[in-house]
Structure 1
Amino acid sequence: MKNTLNIIPYKFPILTAFIFGVFSFVYGQNQPNIIFILSDDAGYADFGFQGSREFKTPNLDKLASQSIRFTQAYVSAAVCGPSRAGILTGKYQQRFGYEENNVPGYMSASGTTGDEMGLPLDQKLISEYLKEQGYKTALFGKWHMGNADRFHPTKRGFDTFYGFRGGARSYYEFNENNKSSRKEDRMERGFGGFEESKQYLTDALAHETVQFIEAHKAQPFFVYLSFNAVHTPIEAHPDDLKKFPKLKGKRKTLAAMTLALDRACGKVFDKLDELGLRDNTIIVFTNDNGGPSDTNASLNKPLGGTKANHLEGGIRVPFLMALPNQQQKHTTYKYPISTLDLFPTFYNLAGGNEKQILDLDGVNLLPFVTGENKSRPHETLYWKKEVRGAIRHQDWKLIRYPDRPAELYNLAEDESEVNNLATTHPDIVNDLYKQFFEWEVSLERPRWMLKHQYEKDAIERLDKYRN
């Protein structure tokens, strides 16, 4: 492990003021509002603040200048549903049988079928904890945690829901020219109350979020703005497409969809500024997994791999955290973190003691980003889907496959995972194998599985897009 500072100021020596400001806020002011924005299937390199020169993301770029930017932020799964289950519970989702398989799955060990598969009801979500802390809670957009009524967001701690229960849908209203036979694709206000947006969906979600903020400006609120952008189907607003005359095909459409995503985020940020709430609000922006380069032309460079595999391009994501009072401007955090850490961080900011929740796998990030704790938030991180799996211990990463020998990489020297060191460090391979197995045998059996064809598809995608 390299002996480097875990926090790096971009331009000015503001760390001392930053530490004082954050802790003055946490211990001396009212509960902050929490805005958690999650994009869907975006590429690691497809934002201006991540280095893109093709895509236009001015609002998120501005947020990055006001944020801690985490350069090694990981999700707990390489696909949408399980990743979101980890975020909402603060736990490795495999611990309660939510393997890296979306719902509804194909085969169920518990005997449940189809829409009856979902995030288990015995898991208490961050929305429920924050509601107990006096927060008004809202979810706008994609749910993907089960289609049955008992899994509904308004039964899982969200006071307000405007979105759809499934995992993907059209960005335009359904009609005779744009049909869908799946009930979970329908836009829904609250419990039931199906309706269709009269505008581009990404903009509609921002509109609903802004209205909620306006209505609840006098009390602490938690907003989970769960975009389906930029997940398939690849559908952009015609006006946005005109902004990218030099791009073609899927890449052009993706750029336009990303511009709409950025515009929607900007509307939320502007409302916070208008109401004078920005200095008492934490904003987090991240993505649910790596970009699926084959389906939406996303770029994950310099990382290899894509969504659905455990190379860095499948599990490392853009991540911004703007803390209250904007004491964090232009700061980079270098050590690995996980989206599992959002749960304890939010709960701590809300006034709760995350240490009293004994089974969390995430950690409160505040002591780490302020410099109070100079160690790594996580010495070890894990990923698993059936036979496939990965473990990162400090800077060493082992990837286990069903059809080839394991691979070993030193991420401090090779974040693109080009130089496989398994044959030159067999002792490290053995140690990591044992450590991974000890974690694996502590997990619940998967509650449902997918057809093996999907595993074959994942391996083929990996080989095609690994570098």
Structure 2
Amino acid sequence: MNNIKVSILVMCFMLLGVCHKVYAQKQPNIVFILADDAGYADFGFQGSKAFKTPQLDKLASQSIRFTQAYVSAAVCGPSRAGILTGKYQQRFGYEENNVPGYMSASGTTGDDMGLPLDQKLMSEYLKEQGYKTAIFGKWHMGNADKFHPTKRGFDTFYGFRGGARSYYEFDKNNTNNRKEDRMEHGFGKYEESKLYLTDALADATIDFIEENKSQPFFVYLSFNAVHTPMEARRDDLKQFPNLEGKRKTLAAMALGLDRACGKVLEKLDELGLRENTLIVFTNDNGGPTDTNASSNKPLGGTKANHLEGGIRVPFLMSLPEQVKKNTLYTNPISTLDLLPTFYQIAGGDEKNMTDLDGVNLLPFISGENKARPHETLFWKKEVRGAIRYKDLKLIRYPDRPAELYNLAEDEAEVNNIASANPTLVNELYKRFFEWEVSLERPHWMLKHLYEGKAIERLDRYRNTTN
């Protein structure tokens, strides 16, 4: 009789194990990798012959590559705020200005400027679905403790609160005066790594994956590579004897980024998790050609402006079980779509997510929904702004008439058709204004001096000469 009871108990435990395994399989792991300030053309899978990105090229062959992926802002912080909330960040006062800003309309100052606490983040949505959550790298959502990642839905944080820092440890030969640049492990525990930072972030990610391999996890691998300062490993520099100056350093930094991504992907393979993991790789804004020598070809413009080179980014998505691998998706999408897509694949119901601007991409990439995910997309930084309606794009400036382009025929934006189409210009102006008047006033701004520099930068790099 006792033997029968033992057998029944064993069978029950086995069934529980099977049920747990099935449940886990229904909740894919999510690994979201975000590069920083990379050029649109500076990856092998984007056509580069000079740069070496074999790991990401391999991922591209296993992924859907989106040819018209957009960020919601042309600079780092606001773009990341849009990603984390699934909303146009201007709706909650986070205009296209990084924090901390210069002037605050809400009375906040300095480090107290950040992603408003009343906004629900991607990490919080996924945590509610039973995910272990982690961010490794750059935060840039506010320096004050109240904005800290571990108070915004992330279980684990290894990185720095600011927007950019050295890739090497701070010491007497590499000094630092900004608290937000110091590496943290946990809440307020400072720990400088002696490794090259890009490698350290990959290693920390791998440790987290190893520790949480038996449960669903969400990783936000938030690289600062290839943002300035221009610092690369010496062995990586040697891989590019035919390049010089910043371009050589950038290529070496991109190789380091690629190697770090490869290490994370190899760990997923080693643990048998790859087939049940959603992987996304993209970039937070266009490449700043003038500061890091990035290339956005064939697009014009750079980071900080609304030409395609400032807002269109490389984008890869590897679905669980490698569904639809090595394919292209050519309709416009937005990084705002990541939150509802992640939530849906995690087992949530997107219908319960109200007031988002992003959409769940799964029915679109599966072919279930043949329409465009977005008929209209918007960008805005104070007076400057842009609207894409279907294939028409209007750009509004403070110092010249608006420009109109047909992106289906002119993705480099060299043929301004505004003067020949005044009715279309007026129609798009009205559509943009209807959206603009629904927005909250910016909570902080920058000195107008920087707006002048942004216009100069646009004119200098608007053509595809980068």
Check the 8 A contact 2:202/2:261 in 1, yes or no.
yes
Shift of 1:458: 0.6
Whether 2:278 is the aligned partner of 1:282: answer: yes
2: CA distance between counterparts of 1:393 and 1:376? Answer: 11
Identity score, percent: 83
Shift of 1:362: 0.1
Aligned to 1:123: 119
1: CA distance between counterparts of 2:355 and 2:135? Answer: 25
Shift of 1:28: 11
1:38 to 27, 34, 39: 34
Question: Which residues of 2 match residues 9-408 of structure 1 at below 5 A?
Answer: 29-408=25-404
| Amino acid across the alignment from 2:448 | H
Aligned to 2:14: none
Partner secondary structure for residue 266 of structure 1: helix
Partner secondary structure for residue 256 of structure 2: helix
| Amino acid across the alignment from 1:84 | R
1: CA distance between counterparts of 2:149 and 2:24? Answer: 32
CA deviation profile, 1:382-413 (whole Å, cap 9, x unmatched): 00000000000000000000000000000000
Shift of 1:447: 0.2
| Amino acid across the alignment from 1:300 | N
Check the 8 A contact 2:24/2:216 in 1, yes or no.
no
Whether 2:445 is the aligned partner of 1:454: answer: no
Partner secondary structure for residue 389 of structure 1: strand
Unaligned runs of 5+ in 1: 1-25
CA deviation profile, 1:37-66 (whole Å, cap 9, x unmatched): 000000000000000000000000000000
Shift of 1:109: 0.5
2: CA distance between counterparts of 1:456 and 1:343? Answer: 34
CA deviation profile, 1:104-139 (whole Å, cap 9, x unmatched): 000000111000000000000010010010000000
Q: Larger C-alpha radius of gyration, 1 or 2?
A: 2
Aligned to 2:19: none
Check the 8 A contact 2:198/2:260 in 1, yes or no.
yes
Shift of 1:357: 1.4
Change in Cα spacing, 1:218 to 1:460, as seen in structure 2 (3 Å) is: same
Shift of 1:304: 0.2
Question: Root-mean-square deviation (CA), in Å?
Answer: 1.0
Check the 8 A contact 2:133/2:154 in 1, yes or no.
yes
Runs ≥4 in structure 1, deviation > 3 angstroms?
A: 26-29
Partner secondary structure for residue 26 of structure 2: coil
Shift of 1:30: 1.6
1: CA distance between counterparts of 2:326 and 2:233? Answer: 32
2: CA distance between counterparts of 1:266 and 1:27? Answer: 28
Unaligned runs of 5+ in 2: 1-21
TM (norm. structure 1) is 0.94
Change in Cα spacing, 1:162 to 1:302, as seen in structure 2 (3 Å) is: same
Shift of 1:355: 1.7
2: CA distance between counterparts of 1:328 and 1:319? Answer: 15
